[in-house]
Amino acid sequence: MTDLAQWLDTQTTDRELGSTIKSMAAAGAEIASVLRQAPIAGQTGLAGSDNVQGEAQKALDVISNDIVLNHLRANPAISILVSEELDEAVEMSSQGRFIIATDPLDGSSNLDVNVTVGTIFSVLASAGGLLQKGEAQLAAGYVAYGPATSLVIRIAGDTSVFTLDANGQWQQTVSAAIIPAASGEFAINTARERFWDAATIGYVRESVAGETGPAGKRYNMRWVGSMVADVHRILMRGGIFLYPLDSETASKGGRLRLLYEANPMAWLVAGAGGASTTGRQGILDVQPTGIHQRVPVILGSAEEVGRVEAWYARA
Ligand SMILES: O=P(O)(O)OC[C@H]1O[C@](O)(COP(=O)(O)O)[C@@H](O)[C@@H]1O
Ligand SMILES: [Mg+2]
Ligand SMILES: [Mg+2]
């Protein structure tokens, strides 16, 4: 079996980039062990504070953020950390070559019901500054804390999947994930239908009509409410994930965050042959204007993303 260190050697000659990814993988392994014990340790529930987006922080949001901070502080290759849980970017090593943007715990509303959550991260070159387009990413990944703990990672080539073994080592279990171009599964929060735009309504109606509508095939719907879990399913078997711009999120620019949710996921999906868009523009082409900027997110199987884009082109 190929472990993470062996795989990194095949993907990059840059040892500092490799060590940066290893630091995030080590943070993920530590968060996994905290999550496993959290109900026993009494760490579920709210932290009693709000993050910069005004969302109530869970105790485990704060604990996960601290674990990431500690691992990155110990690595002189890291210059700056941007985190969902920190209002401002945190300076680390002045000579560090890499910026990390992270959502330390994604899907945290699922914590109290023991459903998959994750840690998402993006790696950027320090020289490019904080506000770089997603296409400039050097690497991106996430850890999914599910029945197995998975690390999904891509530098510039394939999107690879590693599984945490009983000894705390990451073993490669999928060398190159491939998202089938065609799929019959979509993921969207349908409770938000009254806020949707015409393109989203058009795409979902067409899908729900199944073989009796213009799509000509039956669809299923899945929504975990944890982006990592929904994207992981799509990476493993195809499908499309939508958190589009709607009338309620329009003033904020969308729901999900560009630097540490949309961009890393779009990078991983691209490595598996999938596509991503805001509806009007490729996600990886969006020029960020702020570290906590939000963006509409549509990603997954290329044909399905193409159908949504066609609706936006008409709308
Ligand atoms: O509450 P909704 O509308 O189902 O939204 C769920 C989405 O929000 C998120 O939970 C946002 O992430 P955080 O939990 O990190 O804030 C995504 O993981 C998920 O896709
Ligand atoms: Mg999140
Ligand atoms: Mg989060």
> Each residue's pLDDT tens digit in the chain (315 positions)?
999 999 999 999 999 999 999 999 999 999 999 999 999 998 888 878 888 888 888 899 999 999 999 999 999 999 999 999 999 999 999 999 999 999 999 998 899 899 999 999 999 999 999 999 999 999 999 999 999 999 999 999 999 999 999 999 999 999 999 999 999 999 999 999 999 999 999 999 999 999 999 999 999 999 999 999 999 999 999 999 999 999 999 999 999 999 999 999 999 999 999 999 999 999 999 999 999 999 999 999 999 999 999 999 997
Q: How many CA atoms lie within 13 A of 278 on its CB side?
A: 23
Is residue 106 within 6 Å of ligand 1 at its C-beta?
Answer: yes
What's residue 43's pLDDT? 85
Ligand 1 pocket test, pick from 227, 260, 265 with the greatest ligand atom count within 8 Å of Cβ, gives 227
69 is in an annotated binding site: no
CA 298, CA 71: separation in Å to the nearest integer?
32
How many A from CA of 261 to the centre of ligand 2?
Answer: 6
Indicate the number of domains in the chain.
2
How many A from CA of 228 to the centre of ligand 2?
Answer: 8
Residue numbers of the domain that contains 29: 4-174
What's residue 44's pLDDT? 83
Planar angle of CA 32, 37, 38, nearest 5 degrees: 90
Q: Which atom of ligand 1 is nearest to the CA of 226?
A: 18
CATH number assigned to the domain comprising residue 145: 3.30.540.10
Whether residue 120 sits in one domain with residue 216: no
84 is in an annotated binding site: yes
How many A from CA of 261 to the centre of ligand 1?
Answer: 10
Whole-complex ipTM: 0.96
pTM of the model: 0.97
Whether residue 157 sits in one domain with residue 237: no
What's residue 49's pLDDT? 84
- Is residue 21 assigned to a domain? yes
How many A from CA of 180 to the centre of ligand 2?
Answer: 25
What's residue 183's pLDDT? 96
Other Cβ atoms less than 10 A from the Cβ of 250: the count is 12
Residue 235: closest CA among 296, 160, 184, 307: 160
CATH number assigned to the domain comprising residue 214: 3.40.190.80
Whether residue 156 sits in one domain with residue 202: no
